[in-house]
Structure 1
Amino acid sequence: MRMAWRCARVGLTRKGPLHTVTLRALDMAGQPGVATVFTLFGEHSESDQIGWIPGEAQVQVEEGPYLLGGLFQHGTPQHEQRTLVTDPELMVTRDMTVVLDPRKGTPVRIETPKPTEQRAVISFYEHRIFGNGRQVDHGTMEFSTVEQVNVTPTPPVREGEFEFASRWQLVAPMVDAKVSNVSGPLDINLLRQSPAPDGRRKLPLVWAGDGTPAELSRAGVRGAAALVAGSPDRTDESQMVADATAAGAAMVLIVRPAEWSAWTDWAPDGDRLPIPSMVVAYDGGSG
């Protein structure tokens, strides 16, 4: 009688002690808030966590150091901001509670010798090498509707490496406008199919209400820059431009509703609108 024996190889990974981490998010008023995404990266990928924090969230992770990141959205539709709350060396040695407070963020400032504006994509990154050699590179990308990026300051890590970096695409402003009796920067952007302005022009600025043909006629916008108010009920901006053109306006500026961004994506090719056409942020155009 013959007996055959088969051997199986079994591999095991020994984990360290597990602990519960309670993450609490605050808003800009110090009340319970929302982190749209959080990440926890550690020395071992098996304990990595990603999710969101609707006020509070709990995760269970292996004991050790972690790169913690929490992303917050705040500001207004006209002036969106993002704040990254980060701790590159969160030491988890017990059950613990961590408060993510975006009010501690400081602005990332890019200084240029001449005025510029952000176009296309903003991105920011965290680079971390842990003491055991594991490398983590994690980034976020935002459209130019975001005007400001903030990040919480951090002390130097005791083991490994940590670096925060951001990438901006800055160009000369497409529109350089000055309005009598109005101070401070104005958020004015060309509509996607607007013709590019040709040099500087001095035009009277005429308020024409909601920009209907009747209001444009009453305001007398011929040869002027017509300032009109957009609304959620009237979203066809190309029609508003057509109405202003028919009334003889040389230029049109559309004040977008308070809940809308004034961001646009101007394109240099394709069909053009008949006159230079721009949008203005609500807080600038309604002053």
Structure 2
Amino acid sequence: MANVTFTSPAMPRDITVYAVAGDRGTLLGLAKAHRIPIPFDCQDGDCASCIVEVSHVDKRVRYGVALTEKEKEVLRQMGKISKEEIMDAEVNDMPPQHRLACQCFVRNEDIIVSFEGDTTIPGKGPALSIAAAIYKGGVQIGSLDEFLSYSVKVEEDAAVHYDQLAESMAACGNADVASLFTQLARYSRMHLDEAKAKCARYDVTVQLPASSSWPDNSSPEMTALWAGDPALTRLDGLKAALQGERRGFEFYYAVANTTEDPDIRKVAKEFVREETEHVETLKLWIEKEEAAMRAKAR
């Protein structure tokens, strides 16, 4: 028998379970059997979601292990294995400090397994806006094809919306903000290309939903601005864009937290990561714009 203690900030307390050594069960399998929240996606050693740190209670007892080339490469790409550890594994069959839980088999040794928990989905979710909370009129998205079609619609609508705002701002003589919205439209098209790439990766046939599928007939990332305004500042435009990106984040967050389909959840979490980056980028732009305005006012 082996004592395996799981510890993580995502757990209220450490949990020790007894594992039968030699039954070819993995750490991930053991964790799932005891409802230990180790993050995972592929379960085949490709995605690195289930990286854990393994410590031996008795440093003198460390069973040899043959790391697969796949696990070594994934750990190397994630910066979780050193050249020395690779050499030790290849020459002496000694396990490295970090492992993929789906590739690590339980041995007759007491170990402590540490993991961070799922950092993709925040521990405390945001206060969801109406657009996120009742997306698609309150009907759950039923398939990966449908979800990715909605994702393409979100990014496409945002790009078209920013183009229209750029034209409106230019028409009323607000060239500075028009330039900003042109830039935002370009970024939205980059995000649209990323969404379409996901469709190609998962062999999805896109069927764009109607605008009426959304509350207020507008998809989450569209701002509340609809017309040119000569008095609108770049800061105003950035704050409006940030509001839209936050709604986009909320939409994907809501999907990831409500769907029962593991494929939808996996891809939705990818969008959560990306939208988090978009939100943080806009926050940085706003900080720079505010700093520039303060400097100009001196």
TM-score normalized by the length of structure 1: 0.27
Greater share of helix: 2
Larger radius of gyration: 1
**Structure with higher RCO (Cα < 8 A, 6+ apart):** 2
- Higher-strand-fraction structure: 1
